[in-house]
Amino acid sequence: MSRSDSNRKLSGQLKALRHQAWHPGEPDGPPWRNDIHALIAIFALAAALTLLRSPAPQELSYTELKQAEREDRIAQVTFAAWGRD
């Protein structure tokens, strides 16, 4: 390989690197990469909205709990251990 051939090759590589530096928005990877990013963003948004829209826990006394249970108004019960370290 002659010196002019290697200079042309290096010049072409340098030109490609400059193009990448000045045009960062052009995709470099596979075409489905943007689809994967969109699906991840949609999933994250859906999870965040689900957390924000969920009702706040309601504290009940034992009497109120028994009354709500008799009226079938109980969907889920979580007992918290208060005072434990």
pLDDT of residue 75: 79
Phi, psi of 64 (to 5 degrees): -65, -35
Phi, psi of 70 (to 5 degrees): -65, -30
Per-residue pLDDT of the chain (85 residues; tens, 9 = 90+): 577 777 777 788 777 777 666 556 666 667 778 889 899 999 999 999 988 887 777 788 889 988 988 998 887 777 777 655 5
pLDDT of residue 49: 92
pLDDT of residue 44: 96
